[in-house]
Copies of this chain bind each other. A is one copy, B any other.
Amino acid sequence: MSVLYERVALIGLGLIAGSMSLAMRRAGLAGEIVGTARSAETRAVAREIGLVDRVTETIPEAVEGADLVVLAVPVGAMGEVAAAMSAHLKPGATVTDVGSVKRAVIEAVAPHIPEGVHFVPAHPIAGTEHSGPRSGFAELFRNRWCLIVPLEGTDPAAVARLRALWEGMGSRVDEMDAAHHDLVLAVTSHAPHLIAYTMVGVADDLRRVTDSEVIKYSAAGFRDFTRIAASDPTMWRDVFLTNKDATLEILGRFTEELFALQRAIRLGDGQHLFDYFTRTREIRRGIIEAGQDTAAPDFGRGAVTS
């Protein structure tokens, strides 16, 4: 593949930025990859493991001369970072982000984008429960979707180049508007995370079942919840605070449905339960057919090969 951006600046050096650096490097998509992070420890680790070509101490140094600037910090920190970089952006550069919420990021970042710089919000739907500069891997985006959320009037060439970057890192790319993005993600990600966090918290609180029992017998379904509920606390706090309306709407629907199923259990209505569970099984089949997961029966048992 050919170089798409001569210089890329990564602001934030966690799971997503680290994986982007490794994926861009492997595919030869960037000339030089520069990175910075707020924490001195993160910068030190990134230098030690050679995560990017050059680590800078400050945001202005990182974005100087960059053709692409990637904001890869928690959603709640986007506005502050945008303010810090604003005066140092190269004319004609593209600014993008990888935040899980799009309306709030656009509100926070767009006012800081100078005339002549392109702002193209994006969201790679990929992740693990790990975080930090050591957690990235080049395969993270392979066959995963990246949603690009172009603003009205954005230069189509800037959007096309960013799309090519994500495709070059292995992603499939879709475009949609910010409000729809936030609703879709509330369903597929934000509400499920809050629910998993809640169930893990309940298990921890229940004094009659010991923590050791919960942990030992987790293979029975609980394990998948703990995986979700181990995700980065700062990132998720910001997601819920900034995608408040859509998340609360979905949680409201969820609570209604849960009450209906609890009622069926209480009344012994086996047919209602059976029909419900049969319907949900179909969705799983669709996900396997769509290639977003494997049907291998012993998932999570051993090392994973790709």
Contact = CB atoms under 8 A, between A and B. Distances in A.
Nearest to A286: B215
B219 A144 contact: yes
B233 A194 contact: no
Interface residues of A, number: 113
Interface of A is mostly: helix
A130 interface: yes
Interface string A233-244: 110111011001
A215 B301 contact: no
Copy tally for this chain in the complex stands at: 2
Contacts of A278: 233
Contacts of A255: 255, 258
A139 interface: yes
A7 interface: no
Interface of A: 76, 100, 125-130, 135, 137, 139-140, 142, 144-145, 147, 174, 183-185, 187-189, 191-206, 208-209, 211, 213-231, 233-234, 236-238, 240-241, 244, 247-248, 250-251, 253-255, 257-258, 261-262, 265-266, 268, 270, 273-274, 276-281, 283-287, 290, 292-306
